[in-house]
Amino acid sequence: MTNPPQSPPAPAANAMWGGRFAAGPDAIMQAINASIGFDRRLYAQDIQGSRAHAAMLAATGIVTNKDAEAIREGLLTVLSEIDSGTFPFRTDLEDIHMNVEARLKDLIGEPAGRLHTARSRNDQVAVDFRLWVRDQCDAAITGTQALMRAFLAQADAGADWVMPGFTHLQTAQPVTWGHHMLAYVEMLSRDRSRFADARARMNECPLGAAALAGTSFPIDRHATAAALGFARPTANSLDSVSDRDFALEFLSAAGICAMHLSRFAEELVIWSSAQFRFVHLSDRWTTGSSIMPQKKNPDAAELLRAKLGRILGATVALFTVMKGLPLTYSKDMQEDKEQVFDAADTLMLALAAMTGMVGDMTANREALATAAASGFSTATDLADWLVRALGLPFREAHHVTGTLVARAEALGVDLPALTLAQMQAVHPGITDGVFTVLGVDNSVASRTSYGGTAPAQVRTQVARWKEVLG
C-alpha cells in the first residue's frame, strides 16, 4: 500500500469568510474550489455590477456617498490593473469576486468592506455571467449578420448561375447558385433571431436577490437593473440565483448555428475537390501538404465541420451540471462557466472564419453549369411537360420519363441528345416542343413559384435581404 499524496500544510483561514474557521483549506481543496483561473474572464462584468451596486447603495442611503465614491473610484483602478496585466490574482481568494474586493480593500481601506452589503456572491456571479452571455449574444448577432452579408454577395453575383441541386447527394434538379447561397442566409437569419430571443429573455437583472431570499436593506433593484442595461429586475430571488437557463439557451442557439456552418463546411469540402471543382478556395483559407506538393487542403472548412462537437459538448456538460440540482445555488454551478467560454470563443471564431471563406471563394461557373446539365437533371421538367402538353396523369408521365432516362442512359447520352424519333418510340404523342424544357436554363427559369429557384425569384429575395441587412 502506498500512502495517498500528501498535500502541504494548510494555510491560514480565508480572509473573506474565514471568521468561523480555525485553519485554511487543504491545498487540494483550494485547487478544486478555486475558480479564479477561469472566472477572471468576468472581471469587467464583475466591476460593472459592483459599481452599479455601490451607486445604488448610496442613492438609497445604505452607505454614504463618500464611501460609495471611494468604492466606485477604487473599482476603476482595479479595472485598469486587470486590463494592463498588473493585477495580483490570488488563488487563495477563490474567485474573481473576492479577488476584486480584496484588492479594493488594499487600495481604499475600510469602505471596501461596505460594498458587499445587501449582496451575495450568488447574485453577484449570476449578474456577472448574465452580462457576459448577453455580450456573447450581441457578438453572435453581429457575426451572423456579417456571414449573411457574405452569402448575400455571392447570391447577388450568381443569381442566375446554374448548378445541380442535390437530394441524397444525387443530382436532383438544376438550381441557381444564388438560390443555394440564399438558403444559408435564411438559416443564419433564424440563428440571429434565436440569439436575439435568448438575449431578450435573459435581460433581467438578478442583482439584489442576495444569497437566495432577498435582503432586509431598502435596496432599489430597478435602479441597478437600469444601470446595467437590463429591462427589469428578476421577480423571484430563488430563481435569480439558481438558474442558468440563459446560458443553456445561448449554447443551444450556438449549437444550431454551428450545425448550419458545418453543413456549408461539408459542401465546401466536397465542392473544392478535384472531382467537383465547383468552387475555388483562396490560398488564405487552405493549407498545403508536407508530402504531396499538388495538395491544397480545405482545412478551415474541415475544422468548421468539426467545431459543433465542442459546442455540443459544452451544452451537454452544462445540462448535466444543472440536472437535478435542488434550489437554490449549489457549488456545482461554478462548473457553468469554462465550457460556455469555450463554446462562445469557438462560435465567434467559426463565424469569422466562415465569413472570410465565403467572401473569398470563387464559384467555377463552367463546372457548375456542366454538372447542372448532367445526371438527367431535367427529367422532372420532361415529366411536367408530358402533363402540361399531352395531358398525361403525373404518375404516367413519371413512368414515361423514367423509360426515356433508361433509354438515354443505355445510349450514353443526356436527355436533350435523344432524337424526337427515339422519344416517340417511348410515347408517340411527344412533339418537338419537348426540347424547350430540357435545357437547364429553361428549367431554373420556369421555377417561379414563391421561394423557387428561378433567377427572378432569387433577385427578389436578394433585394429583400439587402433591405433587411442595410
Whole-angstrom distance, CA of residue 319 vs CA of residue 322: 5
Q: Which is nearer to ligand ARG, 331 or 395 (CB)?
A: 331
Q: Is position 168 annotated as part of the catalytic site?
A: yes
The DSSP element (H or E) to which 29 belongs, if any, is: helix 27-33
Taking CB under 6 A as the criterion, the residue among 58, 159, 225, 333 binding ligand ARG is 333
Q: Which is nearer to ligand ARG, 41 or 398 (CB)?
A: 41
Q: Does 50 bind ligand ARG (CB under 6 A)?
A: no
Handedness of CA 335, 336, 341, 343 (dihedral sign): positive
Which residues from 123-152 bind ligand ARG, rule CB under 6 A? 125
C-alpha cell at 308: 459543433
3-state secondary structure of 204: strand
Q: Which is nearer to ligand ARG, 214 or 439 (CB)?
A: 214
Q: Does 443 bind ligand ARG (CB under 6 A)?
A: no
Q: Which is nearer to ligand ARG, 272 or 334 (CB)?
A: 334
The piece of 121-129, 137-145, 262-270, 375-383 that touches ligand ARG (CB under 6 A) is 121-129
CB of 118 to ligand ARG, least distance (A): 16
Q: Is position 443 annotated as part of the catalytic site?
A: no
Whole-angstrom distance, CA of residue 129 vs CA of residue 274: 47
Q: Which is nearer to ligand ARG, 42 or 440 (CB)?
A: 42
Residue type, 287: T
The piece of 285-293, 327-335, 355-363, 368-376 that touches ligand ARG (CB under 6 A) is 327-335
CB of 298 to ligand ARG, least distance (A): 40
Q: Does 363 bind ligand ARG (CB under 6 A)?
A: no
The piece of 49-57, 101-109, 328-336, 422-430 that touches ligand ARG (CB under 6 A) is 328-336
Q: Which is nearer to ligand ARG, 151 or 329 (CB)?
A: 329
Q: Are 372 and 401 in contact (CB under 8 A)?
A: no
Q: Does 46 bind ligand ARG (CB under 6 A)?
A: no
The DSSP element (H or E) to which 164 belongs, if any, is: strand 162-167
Catalytic residue among 80, 282, 289, 374: 289
Whole-angstrom distance, CA of residue 208 vs CA of residue 205: 8
Helix, strand and coil in the chain, % to nearest 5: 65, 5, 30
Q: Does 35 bind ligand ARG (CB under 6 A)?
A: yes
Taking CB under 6 A as the criterion, the residue among 103, 121, 130, 244 binding ligand ARG is 121
List Cβ neighbours of 100 (8 Å cut-off, separation of 6 or more): 43, 46, 47, 50, 75, 78
Taking CB under 6 A as the criterion, the residue among 122, 145, 215, 315 binding ligand ARG is 122
Q: Does 457 bind ligand ARG (CB under 6 A)?
A: no
Whole-angstrom distance, CA of residue 131 vs CA of residue 124: 11
What's the distance, CA 336 to chain centroid?
18
CB of 128 to ligand ARG, least distance (A): 9
# residues contacting ligand ARG (CB under 6 A)? 10
Taking CB under 6 A as the criterion, the residue among 46, 67, 92, 95 binding ligand ARG is 95
- Residue 220 backbone zone (phi > 0: left; psi -120 to 50: alpha; other: beta): beta
List Cβ neighbours of 56 (8 Å cut-off, separation of 6 or more): 219, 220, 223, 224, 227
3-state secondary structure of 301: helix
Phi, psi of 174 (to 5 degrees): -65, 140
Interface with ligand ARG (CB under 6 A):
35, 39, 95, 121-122, 125, 329, 331, 333-334
Q: Tell me the catalytic residues.
A: 168, 289
